[in-house]
């Protein structure tokens, strides 16, 4: 594999002639470069007018490699041929380098150039590019490649000291300016017969120099990188520049900002190929969904403004924008049901876009690179209702989108007042979060966030919110329960144009008198978990779960779908054959549950046997099952509301493997149940014949 290097533009705030005078002082050898043993001129020629000088030199390099490797290779030193073309008239120096040693096994190429800055003729630009291709090296190709890249990177870093050192010598000698070349002054010009060795070509500008803008051909200069992107190693700089060049060549129109490109490189440990693929997928996504215009075009619904409990809040001690989120006070289920996943995702994306903008602003304000932000998450109030399975699934899908398109944007996540249920949520969420991001999570239980080692280590005490014991009145919505009257129906959620997410969590089904709605689920592994969540939007229904070892007769065009699930109620088809006998052909594994109009039902069933499970919803007549001749008031009111023999539900089901369920809160446990109860249920599922939890939640405590 060919290894490549491309430097940023190094800008010296000295005239070209003075830089060249400093440069020739390092030859024929330089004490500042121990590996550069010696050099000799093997050919030299000059143009008739003396304006162009071409010099070829053979350089001897002592590579810091293991003695054993040198013995196997049979060499003590490596030799390189360098060709320098100095043009006094145009004020340019071009250097070409290639290896003489092992040229049939290894190919080394280096190209360097010194030119006048396009916007200031008293400044000098330096650029450097190189490539390394090891075809074979006595079976040590990988080792040789690592040594070569390490040595080259070290020589580039060392080079930044050399030019400044010799420029300082010239100043001490009183030489601060050298006349430019003219035909009449040819004889007075310094003799620039030396060449830049491969080990010392990486000259850099001193770190104290100011930012220089306007590099030629829209190239990145070293000071810009240091000022706006941070301290990068030479090889990291090279990856950034090469990926940026590739984008300029292949992507027409607007390309992402340098900070954004750098985030994708960091997310892939500066692996060029992986970062390029990662970034291209994200750029396609951004273009397809017009994400670049999200902040200008998207208006937050009033519901989000009232019930989304988060806001930007100053900055942390490192200058990073600070976002405060009171997740424990947020009605996640209510927001999903009232707005849908799409609106919540757009809210999260807008926060990320706003965070990027604030990072750029803080970079200017604080005079140093700010590339990520800090999130302070308060979990006070987090309980089992936040573990609502469809809501968790929506959260996981949003995390996937964010991880795929906003890598390395979260600098630190401070989680405070984490309750006992937090490890459950973390078990579900953490697998989708990048390992580098997980290392940035700091969790405080109870009041551990107060005092030394807590928030004050990361946030100024003056801006700690009042609800966390600080004095600052933080302007964040109080949240609360979203009124159920604002919930949208499944038809409304399904009919909206979901651009960023491809499907809706909930489905709808109509249930007619005499024709139940049934779902067939094939279970191949005992102790798998069937979970459900449904709302009765019209009429009353009876919910049952049955098990059968034999597969019911399916209509010809129906087959088992993903996870072995299929639904047939919409076709007025029944899975349980009329000839089947309860207790012989199939069995009831859960007690029948009557569900009234307006109720929300959540539950789970840990399967005891493999086979086929049938979830059934059937029409329920309020008066049919009355044990007394006098019907209840609720039954009378319900019968008046139902104008036909038809019911409607909005449902969601999922099957979880036993390994995924055990020890985590994947089930739809009742909001009144504790974590310890769930743990006991899941960890002893092998002893339980058919454990299940059903929770009925009225309007008053629907969440």
The two three-digit tokens of residue 151, written as one number: 């040595």
Whole-angstrom distance, CA of residue 139 vs CA of residue 170: 48
Q: What is each CA distance from 442 to 376, 397, 411, in whole angstroms?
A: 10, 23, 11
Whole-angstrom distance, CA of residue 617 vs CA of residue 623: 18
**Closest by alpha carbon to 510, among 518, 502, 501?**
518
- Using the Cα atoms of residue 485, residue 488, residue 490 and residue 491 in order, give the sign of their dihedral: positive
**Predicted local distance difference test score (pLDDT) of residue 163:** 85
Q: Do 221 and 215 meet the contact criterion of CB atoms below 8 Å apart?
A: yes
In a domain, 467, yes or no: yes
Kindly give the parts of the chain with pLDDT less than 50: 187-217, 502-503, 562, 567-572, 624-631, 633-643, 662-703
Q: What is each CA distance from 563 to 57, 521, 525, 588, 667, in whole angstroms?
A: 70, 8, 12, 22, 16
**Predicted local distance difference test score (pLDDT) of residue 185:** 53
Domain's final residue, options 138, 173, 208: 173
In a domain, 489, yes or no: no
Q: Which residue in the block uniquely carries the two structure tokens 């979830």?
A: 615
Q: Which residues lie below 8 Å from residue 200, measured CB to CB, with a gap of 6+?
A: 26, 30, 33, 36, 155, 158, 159, 162
| Residue 30 backbone phi and psi in degrees, to 5 | -130, 130
Whole-angstrom distance, CA of residue 601 vs CA of residue 479: 24
Q: What is each CA distance from 444 to 472, 664, 676, in whole angstroms?
A: 20, 20, 21
Whole-angstrom distance, CA of residue 94 vs CA of residue 128: 10
- Are 381 and 423 part of one and the same domain? yes
Q: Do 606 and 692 meet the contact criterion of CB atoms below 8 Å apart?
A: yes
- Are 242 and 373 part of one and the same domain? no
In a domain, 61, yes or no: yes
Domain's final residue, options 264, 289, 314: 289
Within 13 A of 150's CA, how many CA atoms are on the CB side? 9
- Are 247 and 262 part of one and the same domain? yes
In a domain, 304, yes or no: yes
Query: What CATH number does residue 256 fall under?
Result: 1.10.8.20
Query: What CATH number does residue 83 fall under?
Result: 3.30.530.20
> Longest C-alpha distance within the chain, in Å?
124
In a domain, 194, yes or no: no
Whole-angstrom distance, CA of residue 527 vs CA of residue 658: 5
Domain tally, the chain: 4
Whole-angstrom distance, CA of residue 574 vs CA of residue 561: 17
**Predicted local distance difference test score (pLDDT) of residue 639:** 46
DSSP three-state, residue 178: coil
The two three-digit tokens of residue 640, written as one number: 């008046």
Whole-angstrom distance, CA of residue 188 vs CA of residue 182: 10
H or E segment at 507? strand 507-512
| Residue 580 backbone phi and psi in degrees, to 5 | -70, 145
Q: Do 209 and 48 meet the contact criterion of CB atoms below 8 Å apart?
A: no
**Predicted local distance difference test score (pLDDT) of residue 622:** 63
**Predicted local distance difference test score (pLDDT) of residue 229:** 92
Q: What is the DSSP annotation of 360-388?
A: HHHHHHHTS----EEEEEE-TT--GGGG-
The two three-digit tokens of residue 455, written as one number: 């928030």
Whole-angstrom distance, CA of residue 187 vs CA of residue 193: 14
389-405 helix and 272-289 helix, angle to the nearest 10 degrees: 120
SS3 letters across 312-357:
EEEECCCCCEEEEECHHHECHHHHHHHHCHHHHHHHHHHHHHHHHH
DSSP state of 164: H
In a domain, 395, yes or no: yes
Q: Exposure of 674 by Cβ count < 10 A (0-12 exposed, 13-18 middle, 19+ buried)?
A: middle
DSSP three-state, residue 278: helix
H or E segment at 405? helix 389-405
DSSP three-state, residue 232: coil
Domain's final residue, options 289, 320, 348: 289
Whole-angstrom distance, CA of residue 377 vs CA of residue 379: 6
Query: What CATH number does residue 338 fall under?
Result: 3.40.525.10
DSSP three-state, residue 118: coil
Q: What is the DSSP annotation of 528-580?
A: -EEEEEEEEEES-EEEEEEEESSPPPPPTT----GGGEEE-GGGT--SS-TT-
- Are 125 and 19 part of one and the same domain? yes
- Are 272 and 338 part of one and the same domain? no
In a domain, 700, yes or no: no
- Are 315 and 365 part of one and the same domain? yes
Q: What angle do CA 323, 327, 331 make, to 5 degrees?
A: 130
The two three-digit tokens of residue 501, written as one number: 């997410």
Whole-angstrom distance, CA of residue 125 vs CA of residue 215: 9
- Are 365 and 480 part of one and the same domain? yes
Q: Do 69 and 140 meet the contact criterion of CB atoms below 8 Å apart?
A: yes
Q: Exposure of 497 by Cβ count < 10 A (0-12 exposed, 13-18 middle, 19+ buried)?
A: exposed
Measured from the Cβ of residue 421, the count of other Cβ atoms closer than 10 Å reads 18
Provide the CA 428 distance to its chain's centre, in angstroms.
Answer: 17
- Are 338 and 412 part of one and the same domain? yes
In a domain, 336, yes or no: yes
- Are 135 and 161 part of one and the same domain? yes
Query: What CATH number does residue 584 fall under?
Result: 2.60.120.680
Whole-angstrom distance, CA of residue 8 vs CA of residue 242: 10
What is the residue range of 119's domain? 2-173
- Using the Cα atoms of residue 101, residue 103, residue 108 and residue 114 in order, give the sign of their dihedral: positive
Whole-angstrom distance, CA of residue 537 vs CA of residue 489: 8
Query: Kind of pairing, strands 106-117 and 92-99?
Result: antiparallel
- Are 447 and 590 part of one and the same domain? no
- Are 232 and 162 part of one and the same domain? no
Q: What is the DSSP annotation of 640-666?
A: HH--SSEEEEEEEEEEE-HHHHTTS--
- Are 45 and 144 part of one and the same domain? yes
- Using the Cα atoms of residue 265, residue 269, residue 273 and residue 279 in order, give the sign of their dihedral: negative
């Amino acid at each position: 594999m060919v290894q490549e290097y491309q430097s940023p533009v190094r800008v010296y705030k000295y005239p070209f002639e003075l830089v060249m005078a400093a440069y020739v002082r390092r030859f024929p050898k330089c004490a500042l470069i121990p590996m550069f043993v010696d050099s000799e001129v093997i050919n030299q020629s000059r143009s008739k007018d003396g304006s162009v000088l071409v010099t070829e030199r053979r350089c001897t390099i002592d590579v810091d490699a293991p003695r054993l490797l040198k013995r196997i290779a049979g060499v003590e030193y490596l030799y390189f041929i360098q060709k320098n073309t100095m043009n006094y008239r145009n004020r340019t120096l071009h250097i070409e380098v290639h290896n003489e040693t092992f040229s049939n096994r290894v190919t080394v190429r280096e190209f360097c150039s010194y030119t006048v800055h396009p916007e200031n003729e008293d400044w000098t630009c330096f650029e450097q590019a190189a490539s390394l291709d090891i075809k074979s090296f006595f079976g040590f190709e990988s080792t040789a490649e690592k040594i070569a890249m390490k040595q080259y990177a070290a020589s580039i870093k060392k080079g930044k000291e050399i030019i400044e050192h010799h420029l300082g010598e010239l100043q001490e000698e009183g030489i601060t300016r050298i006349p430019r070349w003219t035909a009449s002054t040819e004889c007075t010009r310094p003799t620039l017969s030396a060449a830049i060795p491969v080990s010392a070509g990486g000259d850099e500008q001193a770190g104290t120099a100011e930012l220089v803008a306007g590099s030629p051909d829209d190239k990145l200069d070293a000071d810009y990188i240091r000022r706006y992107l941070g301290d990068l190693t030479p090889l990291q700089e090279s990856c950034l520049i090469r990926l940026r060049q590739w984008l300029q060549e292949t992507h027409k129109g607007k390309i992402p900002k340098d900070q954004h490109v750098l985030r994708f490189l960091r997310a892939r440990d500066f692996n060029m190929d992986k970062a390029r693929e990662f970034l291209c997928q994200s750029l396609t996504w951004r273009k397809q969904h017009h994400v670049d215009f999200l902040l200008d075009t998207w208006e937050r619904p009033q519901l989000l403004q009232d019930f989304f409990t988060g806001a930007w809040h100053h900055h942390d001690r490192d200058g990073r924008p600070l976002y405060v989120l009171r997740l424990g006070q947020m009605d996640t289920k209510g927001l999903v049901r009232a707005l849908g996943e799409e609106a919540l995702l757009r809210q999260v994306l807008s926060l990320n876009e706003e965070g990027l903008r604030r990072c750029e602003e803080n970079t200017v304000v604080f005079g140093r690179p700010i590339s990520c932000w800090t999130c302070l998450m308060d979990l006070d109030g987090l309980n089992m209702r936040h573990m609502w399975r469809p809501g968790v699934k929506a959260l996981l899908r949003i995390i996937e989108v964010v991880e795929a398109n906003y890598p390395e944007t979260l600098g630190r996540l401070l989680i405070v007042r984490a309750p006992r249920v937090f490890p459950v949520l973390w078990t579900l969420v953490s697998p989708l979060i990048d390992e580098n991001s997980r290392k940035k999570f700091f969790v405080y239980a109870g009041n551990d966030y107060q005092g030394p080692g807590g928030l004050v280590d990361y946030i100024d005490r003056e801006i700690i919110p009042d609800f966390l014991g600080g004095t600052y009145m933080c302007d964040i919505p109080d949240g609360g329960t979203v009124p159920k009257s604002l919930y949208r129906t499944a038809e409304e959620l399904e009919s909206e144009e979901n651009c960023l997410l491809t499907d809706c969590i909930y489905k709808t089904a109509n249930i007619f008198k005499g024709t139940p709605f049934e779902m067939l689920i094939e279970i191949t592994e005992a102790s798998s978990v069937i979970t459900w969540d449904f709302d009765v939007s019209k009429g009353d229904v009876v919910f049952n779960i049955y098990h059968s070892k034999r597969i019911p007769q399916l209509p010809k065009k129906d087959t088992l779908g993903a996870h072995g699930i299929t639904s047939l109620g919409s076709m007025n088809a029944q899975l349980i054959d009329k000839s089947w006998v309860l207790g012989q052909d199939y069995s009831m594994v859960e007690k029948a549950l009557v569900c009234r109009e307006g109720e929300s039902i959540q539950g789970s069933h840990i399967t005891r046997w493999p086979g086929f499970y049938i979830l059934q919803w059937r029409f329920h007549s309020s008066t049919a099952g009355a044990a007394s001749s006098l019907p209840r008031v609720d039954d009378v009111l319900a019968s008046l509301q139902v104008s036909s023999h038809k019911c409607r539900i909005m449902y969601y089901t999922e099957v979880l493997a036993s390994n995924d369920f055990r020890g985590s809160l994947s089930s739809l446990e009742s909001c009144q149940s504790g974590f310890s109860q769930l743990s006991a249920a899941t960890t002893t599922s092998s002893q339980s014949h058919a454990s299940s939890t059903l929770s009925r939640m009225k309007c008053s405590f629907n969440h």
